[in-house]
Structure formats: structure tokens, C-alpha cells
Chain A
Amino acid sequence: MKRIYVNEQWCLGCHLCEYNCAFANTNSENKCRENDMAKALKNKVINPRIRIEEKDDIHFAVSCRHCEDPLCVKGCIAGALSIVDGVINIDQDKCVGCYTCILSCPYGAIMPADSGSVIQKCELCTKNSCGEPACVKGCPNNAIVFEER
């Protein structure tokens, strides 16, 4: 299955992936159309599903690994997390925001959604109109790639 992988040595720490992620997952009707990004995100605190960690000259992006043996899915008390064709999917309608998945995820890749009452996570842009992960598409340096390994 294709997953997102990180080439840490090429990451500039530009945070574009975070913006592209946040934009791809806004409720705007024109998802993934670059010309609307400023309108959608200007002066907003974004809550992306991919996050850059950085310190000194080290930068890298972290998002859901879509584990084959996912602790978040096994531990979900609501049955809200499931594996759909290899992609770990969150049903926000079932989620009650207990955060057992945040307790369980060894990558720290699950976070509260803006509402604070359910969680959100990377679903490889399968639920928006991007087609393929927006973070990868917009990465200027191939520091995040979407491929089979």
C-alpha cells in the first residue's frame, strides 16, 4: 500500500505541508485550489493533521503511519477508528473524544479536531477532493513522498 514517507534530510521546515493539509481539509467547496488558500487560511490558526517537528537544523514531518497493527484502532473505545483498504479511518460521528488513541499512538500523530470534542488524523486525503495527499503534492523538495515500500 502507498504510504507517506519522510526524507528528513531534504525537509526545509517550510511548513507548506501543514498549510496544504489544513487547506485540503477545510470545508471550503474549492478544496485543493491553490488560489483560495489565502482566503481560507489567512489569519487563522491552522490545525493540520501533519506536523513539522524542528530543532536547530533538523526538520521533519510527522503524520499517521497507517500501521498494519494499529494500537489506535485496537484501543478505540467507540469503534470509531477502523482500517479501510489499509487506511486508518476515523468516523467522527462515532468518536466521543475520549483520546484513548492519543494515549496509544506511538508517533503522536492523532490530535483533537478544532471542535475539541472529536479527534482528527491523516486519512491520506481519501475523504477530500485532493485525490492524493495534499502535503506530498505541495512539498517543494520531495521531503515527503507517497509511495509503496
Chain B
Amino acid sequence: MNYVIIGNSAAAVGCIEGIRRFDKENPITVVSDEKYHTYSRPLISYLLYGKTDEERMKYRPDSFYKDNNVNTVLGKKAVSINKEEKEVVLEDNTKIKYDRLLVATGSRPFVPPMEGLDKVKKKFTFMTLDDAKGLESAISSKSNVLVIGAGLIGLKCVEGILDKVKSVTVVDLAERILPSILDEKGSALVQRHIEEKGVKFILGTSAAKLTANSAELKNGEKVDFDVLVVAVGVRPNKELIKDAGGEVRKGIVTNEFCKTSLPHVYAAGDCTESYDTVTGENRILALLPNAYMQGETAGYHMTGSEKPYDKAIAMNAIGFFGYHVITAGSYDGEEIVTEDGENYKKLVVKDNLLKGYIMIGDVARAGIYTKLIREKIPLDSIDFELIKEKPQLMAFSRADREQQLGGAH
């Protein structure tokens, strides 16, 4: 049995650890177009921020591949899957045979067509370690940086570079920041906090035209810059599966065992769609925990162990300059809001279930809320008044608590 994994990030590591839980013997080969030991992509902003370094941002220890009997083929891109021959073809035409294959190819930055973009010399996206290194070498304390995109990637980039440059301006077509995870009130609170650190936001507009060192915005403003970062979104790398005839929609389509429509081929991570158990929709949940757990599920199934992954939900933990945000689920339902200017909490309730929440500032014990969403715990089975006040196990019945705290889970 030959296991082959295309990709070397969270989903790939999840798959390796999933396989090795049941199969300690058969060889695993990891193929990646990046040359690095597995590292955490979400940590690239912390690398620039100075909170980690290349050594510490390794996602697993140096001995990981050896400990898990993994062969690595790094710095080579997989260009196609031959499903008849059961082999992966690399860019140098090397072929790697598989019995079970995981496609964990992630996503790539989306750069929209912008007039004059080709004239900009120092332009970056912000996704990989090489992106971060390139950006770091391009900025100095004299740099004026323009970031296009006020989403998670753009704003973490801002946090990473703010202290290293002269100014940062963020432009986004949306009227508010982080619209994918926050409501209006939450967006305003986080924006205020980031603005207080010296970042300028220009929202509700976009770049009409770029020159080498300036952007003309559609609202008529002009922003001068030395360095441009484009972080407007990502696109899943689904082509390997699509070209081999596998089913894709927005992302690669998989079942509850993370199997694609191609025989013996699995997919996990940001290149796939997940079944969102809160909304009942198939959607891309580009989140590291989701990638890991999909990869692990695929790994289990490759060895013949059937453990479905059916509890995927949208969830995010993110912070900017020490101000923390935790969100989960969907915001469609009755809202219960508590706020005091600095801390903000919104619970969203529908059909006797907690469907989603936003916590900003005070995020203590948020996971108890996440559990209510993920496990679909009927709210009439707990003391909802206590749960509204704060996440606490006191809200559960004594019998339930004994079960929760009395065993290993």
C-alpha cells in the first residue's frame, strides 16, 4: 500500500497522523511545490510581527517525517493525476504510484485585474512563507504600504508590518472590515482598535487605476505607496481533480470520509468544500482546524477505518494588537447582544439551538459556546440564562456534567 499526499500543510499532516494511528508500516510520500519542512501558513503574519521565527513556526518537529516514515518530494509541483495508472505526474515528468492519494493543494491568492498593476514594482500577495520573506525584504521604516483587502489575510498582514513601516493604508470595496466573520458592530469595534494603532482605512471603494507608486481610487482619492499588498481573496486549487474528471464545484467535492468522486482519491483542506453542519450547505471552510480534521478523516479512511467528519462549522479565532475576536457558526436567528464599549458578545439562537456567536475582547471559555453549536445541544436542556451570562458548565445538568468531567473524551 502506497499512500501519496499532494500538499505539505495542515491537511497533509492531519492525513499522515490519521494514517499512522492505524497503519504504522506502509510508506507515505508527500509531494509539495514548496521546499520547506511543514510550516504553519497562518503564522506568516506572526513571523513579520516578530512573535515567531522560521524555526518555531514549523508545524511539526524536525523529526516528523522520519518518525512517521514519510518520504518527501519537496520543491516539485504535481501537475496531473492519471487515475487509470494510479499515478501522480510531477512537473519534471516524474511519476509517483499511489494506492491511496490525498489532494491537499490548498488555495492561491486571487489578484483581480487592475489597470496599471503591471507598473507596480513592489507588489505582493500574502499566503506563503516566501510571500512573507519577499514582503519583509521589500519594506523599510520609510515604506508607505497600501493593502488592498480588509479581510483576515489583509489585516493580519497589516498587524505584521505596521511597526516596520512608515504608514499603512487599507482599501476595501466592502463598507466594513472583516465582513465574512463579523457583524456591523463588531467590524466597527475592531476597526477602531486597529485605527488607534495608526492604520488608515478607506472603505467602500476600490482602485480604479494604479501607477508605479500610487493608486487612484474610484471615490476620487489618491493613495501614494511604495509597496502594494493584494489580499482580496483566495481561490481553491481544484484543478488536479477537475482535470482528472473528478467532481468539483466552488471547491473539490468530497463525502463525509473526505473522498472525492475519483477512485482511491481523497481531498482535504482549503481546496475542498465542506458540509457546514450549521447551515446545511456545502461551502468552502478555509480554516486550519477544518483542514487538519478533514485530512485526518481521509487518513483514517485510507487505512480502512471509517470515522466520518460531519461536524464542520465556520469558526475563527483572530486577534489584532492584543484585541481578540472569536466567532463561530451562522448569524441567522434571534440575536442576544451584550456590550460595554470594549467587550462585545452576540449569541444567535434559532430552533432551540445556538447557531452562532461573536465574542470580542473578553473571549474566555468561548469553546463552551462552540460545543453547543457543534453538538446541536437543545437549549431547553440547559440553563440558558446562565449560558447567556457567560460560557459555563454550570448551565448543564449535574448528570451531564458528571459525564463531561468524569471520563476521557
Q: Which of A3, A53, A54 contacts B408 (CB 8 A)?
A: A3
Q: If A74-B296, A149-B407 touch, does A98 touch B52 (CB 8 Å cutoff)?
A: no
Q: Does B402 contact A (CB under 8 A)?
A: yes
Which residues of B sit under 8 angstroms from A104, Cβ to Cβ? 289, 315, 367, 370
Q: Are A94 and B52 in contact (CB under 8 A)?
A: yes
A94 CB to nearest B CB, Å: 5
Complex contact A77–B42 (CB within 8 A): yes
**Measured CA separation A63–B244 after assembly (Å):** 49
Q: Is A75 in the interface zone, CB < 8 Å from B?
A: yes
Given contacts A94-B56, A116-B322, A149-B408, contact A106 B371 (CB under 8 A): yes
> How many residues in B have their beta carbons less than 8 Å from beta carbons of A?
50
For the complex, would chain A's binding face be called helix, strand, loop or mixed by DSSP majority?
loop
Which residue of A60, A75, A105 is within 8 Å of B405 (Cβ)?
A: A60
Give the distance in Å from the alpha carbon of A3 to the alpha carbon of B46 in the complex.
34
Chain B window 274-297, contacts with chain A (Cβ cutoff 8 Å), 1 for yes, 0 for no: 000000000000001100110010
Nearest-CB residue, chain B, relative to A5: B406
Given A5-B405, A55-B394, A93-B56, are A100 and B364 neighbors across the interface (CB < 8 Å)? no
Please tell me which stretch of B57-65, B77-85, B187-195 contacts chain A, meaning at least 4 of its Cβ atoms lie within 8 angstroms of it. B57-65
- With a CB–CB cut-off of 8 A, which chain B residues contact A79? 40, 58-60
**Is A53 a contact partner of B296 (Cβ separation < 8 A)?**
no
Which B residues fall within an 8 A CB radius of A? 10, 14, 40, 42-43, 46, 51-52, 56-60, 288-289, 292-293, 296, 315-319, 322, 324, 326, 328, 363-368, 370-371, 375, 386, 391-394, 398, 401-402, 404-409
The answer to whether A103 and B317 touch (CB under 8 A), given A6-B405, A108-B364, is yes
A87-118 Cβ-contact flags toward B at 8 Å (1 or 0): 00000011011111111111110110000110
Measured between alpha carbons, how far is A77 from B156 in the docked complex, in Å? 14
* Pairwise interchain contact A96-B52, C-beta atoms closer than 8 A: yes
Complex Cα gap A69–B315 (Å): 19
Interface assignment of A29: CB less than 8 Å from any CB of chain B: no
Given A93-B56, A102-B317, A103-B366, A62:B405 Cβ within 8 A: yes
